Structure 1
Amino acid sequence: MLGSRAAGFARGLRSVALASLPGWRGRSFALARETGAPHGGNLQPSACPGPRGRQLSLSAAAVVNSAPRPLQPYLRLMRLDKPIGTWLLYLPCTWSIGLAAEPGCFPDWYMLSLFGTGAILMRGAGCTINDMWDQDYDKKVTRTANRPIAAGDISTFQSFVFLGGQLTLALGVLLCLNYYSIALGAGSLLLVITYPLMKRITYWPQLALGLTFNWGALLGWSAIKGSCDPSVCLPLYFSGVMWTLIYDTIYAHQDKRDDVLIGLKSTALRFGENTKLWLSGFSVAMLGALSLVGVNSGQTAPYYAALGAVGAHLTHQIYTLDIHRPEDCWNKFISNRTLGLIVFLGIVLGNLWKEKKTDKTKKGIENKIEN
């Protein structure tokens, strides 16, 4: 009896070993049945991932979650786990820097990186100010109840000290620019501080956000050129404000029920079922202003092709929007990063196209002179 069991056990081990060899995978289950193995499923690798099975995630949320625990509330206060806001603040800066580049040249990479750093810091400062103002409201809204100040992870005093640190670093970035840009950048601070209060007194807080978030459309150009060109900077700024009214109205529809209960205002509540009509109007205004920017800055075919793509993106975004589904509103909101990148790409390619046209013109002039 013992000998037969030992022989059966040996055959079972042999079947497991052979099953791991090339060509034996298809025969492993039949062989297991022949040898009396309990079940073919036991021959499969364990489904439980070991240390080697862990997947490394580079998402912003994963990076924040992997940070030292005492730092995590501060990183969440800056919204580093949700970088879409930083993108929406940064992209108008890139548009302006790209437009200010010399014909045939790429945008200034140093300025792009400098403004990127500033966008992270100023968005963090803005969120800190917003959460300090709104901590009592945030506790009453499901989506915002877990924000660090509202949840009690950070005290008001700690957030105030943290705000001072962010603004100090942001000032260091600003001081890297020319004097005109330093004064212009400092002028945005009042908007940053007062924007969170607008939702208490007007149904147009998204307009206040647009005036704040698109200040980089003015600042980027002045950082390169030394001052603003109103014929380019003002329509660019206006287009950014219209863009903000589009995406932040969509965003506000996520919280409209809670906003009604706690007495806050938004364009989502102001527009109601007419939201798509209003968003369509803002889209036309945005595209019209960007077209004027192109004319006044001598843009070329790639730029206008990008505007066509932007128009298609806005059309799809608005047409398919379901204002009564918060998850759809969120998806439409974050899709605006792609829209902003399309504009930037169009500006860069349009500017590079100028070099080709200039070279052809120079060659034509040289040929005429030779003839």
Structure 2
Amino acid sequence: MTEAGQRPEQGEVADAVPGNWVDTRAPARARPFLRLSRADRPIGTWLLLLPCWWGLGLAIVSTGEASLSDLWIAIGCAIGAFLMRGAGCTWNDITDRDIDGSVARTRSRPIPSGQVTTRQALVWVVVQSLLAFGILLTFNPQAILLGIIALVPVAIYPFAKRFTWWPQIFLGIAFNWGALLAWTAHTGSLGLPAVMLYLAGICWTLFYDTIYAHQDAEDDALIGVKSTARLFGDRTPHWLRRFLVSCVMLMGLAVIAAAIDASVLVLVLALGGPWAMGWHMALQLGRFDPANDAGLLRLFRSNRMAGFLPVLFFAAAALV
């Protein structure tokens, strides 16, 4: 990226969305903290939120009942996803502050570039986490317990690339927890469809984050950081295909388990979710080029639409 050398002086982050609201409209004093939260790169919030909406939509399909409380679950998950994604990214930057300074794509982040101190970042983690906890307390006790447990994979993930070639699994465990939480917030208990949906989400994360990790593969090799992109190398398309198939199959099984007592129309509509998502992922696979960093970033960001497709189909099935 030709502008990477200039952006740190402006305070902008190298891989942020050009012209984003943080760099153009947010108060100057707030910008470093919003950058820590990746508010200038909203795709991560979507990737955290969409499994929540999957879980809620499929839960409504399963019970055949919806209420105004479900609207709050959807809104609360959206606010919580923004806050917890911000807290998780800030925590990640704290733990990676030495590594980030050695990687071209990340050396412009607020901590390695000197915009924010580590102590300030820690305070920001606490603030965001407490606000998210306030949202969580509005859900039922079972969902609250799941939300608290979710802090464990969030805390572990930044260290995973130091001890395993599969850090993307830990990211998937953390990022798709909302499927379990939202299902439980609606039904009051955890069910098999939610677990299968959760596993489908983990496969999806392995798919999109392996694509994303190829941007840093060379730098990661130099500093000894592990990733599935480095592990798979030239065999990445083969593995991406495996993740794609696993994601679609597991989501399909989740739909069947949830809608087994529903009408044929409801089942068919709900199964359209994994079908459409699978086609979107197949298109991404066809365009995968590990040598094209800009293309890799575009493919990664396109997963907002890939993950939104099941939301649309689940919502249609729930309305029948």
Q: CA deviation at 1:308?
A: 2.4
Partner of 1:262: 223
**SS state of the match for residue 227, structure 1?**
coil
Q: Which amino acid aligns with 1:345?
A: L
| 1:305 maps onto 2:308 in alignment | no
Partner of 1:119: 81
Partner of 1:81: 40
Mean CA deviation greater in 305-314 or 216-225 = 305-314
Q: CA deviation at 1:310?
A: 1.7
Partner of 1:130: 92
After superposition, the Cα gap between the structure-2 partners of 1:224 and 1:104, relative to the gap in structure 1 and judged at 3 Å, is closer
| 1:97 maps onto 2:52 in alignment | no
Alpha-carbon separation, structure 2, partners of 1:303 and 1:181:
24
Alpha-carbon separation, structure 2, partners of 1:105 and 1:226:
13
Partner of 2:122: 160
1:106·1:352 contact (CA, 8 Å) conserved in 2? Answer: no
Q: Which amino acid aligns with 2:290?
A: I
**SS state of the match for residue 176, structure 1?**
coil
Q: Which amino acid aligns with 1:82?
A: R
Partner of 1:323: 290
Match of 2:306 among 336, 339, 361: 339
Q: Which amino acid aligns with 2:134?
A: G
Q: CA deviation at 1:60?
A: 7.7
1:60·1:83 contact (CA, 8 Å) conserved in 2? Answer: no
Q: CA deviation at 1:59?
A: 8.5
**SS state of the match for residue 218, structure 2?**
helix
**SS state of the match for residue 215, structure 2?**
coil
Q: Which amino acid aligns with 2:88?
A: G
Q: CA deviation at 1:64?
A: 4.3
- % same residue: 43
2:272·2:313 contact (CA, 8 Å) conserved in 1? Answer: yes
| 1:294 maps onto 2:255 in alignment | yes
Partner of 1:23: none
| 1:150 maps onto 2:103 in alignment | no
Mean CA deviation greater in 102-111 or 134-143 = 102-111
**SS state of the match for residue 206, structure 2?**
helix
1:104·1:352 contact (CA, 8 Å) conserved in 2? Answer: no
1:60·1:82 contact (CA, 8 Å) conserved in 2? Answer: no
Alpha-carbon separation, structure 1, partners of 2:30 and 2:307:
31
Q: CA deviation at 1:104?
A: 6.9
Match of 1:283 among 234, 244, 251: 244
Q: Which amino acid aligns with 1:241?
A: I
Alpha-carbon separation, structure 1, partners of 2:174 and 2:312:
23
Q: CA deviation at 1:265?
A: 0.4
- Residue by residue over 1:58-101, the C-alpha shift from the partner in whole angstroms, topping out at 9 and shown as x without a partner, is 98812443111111000100000100000000000000011122
Q: Which amino acid aligns with 1:284?
A: V
1:60·1:80 contact (CA, 8 Å) conserved in 2? Answer: no
| 1:69 maps onto 2:31 in alignment | no
**SS state of the match for residue 180, structure 1?**
helix
Partner of 2:193: 232
CA RMSD of aligned residues (A): 1.6
TM-score, L = length of structure 1: 0.77
Q: CA deviation at 1:305?
A: 2.7
| 1:197 maps onto 2:197 in alignment | no
- Computing the radius of gyration over CA atoms, which structure comes out larger, 1 or 2? 1
1:203·1:265 contact (CA, 8 Å) conserved in 2? Answer: yes
Q: CA deviation at 1:194?
A: 1.0
After superposition, the Cα gap between the structure-2 partners of 1:277 and 1:106, relative to the gap in structure 1 and judged at 3 Å, is farther
After superposition, the Cα gap between the structure-2 partners of 1:180 and 1:349, relative to the gap in structure 1 and judged at 3 Å, is same
Q: CA deviation at 1:103?
A: 2.4
After superposition, the Cα gap between the structure-2 partners of 1:171 and 1:60, relative to the gap in structure 1 and judged at 3 Å, is farther
Q: CA deviation at 1:314?
A: 1.4
Mean CA deviation greater in 111-120 or 308-317 = 308-317
1:206·1:244 contact (CA, 8 Å) conserved in 2? Answer: yes
Mean CA deviation greater in 96-105 or 126-135 = 96-105
| Structure 2: gaps (5+ residues) | 1-16, 260-265
Q: CA deviation at 1:350?
A: 1.7
Partner of 2:14: none
Alpha-carbon separation, structure 2, partners of 1:172 and 1:234:
25
Alpha-carbon separation, structure 2, partners of 1:293 and 1:91:
16
TM-score, L = length of structure 2: 0.89
Alpha-carbon separation, structure 1, partners of 2:255 and 2:275:
13
Q: CA deviation at 1:300?
A: 1.9
Q: Which amino acid aligns with 1:279?
A: L
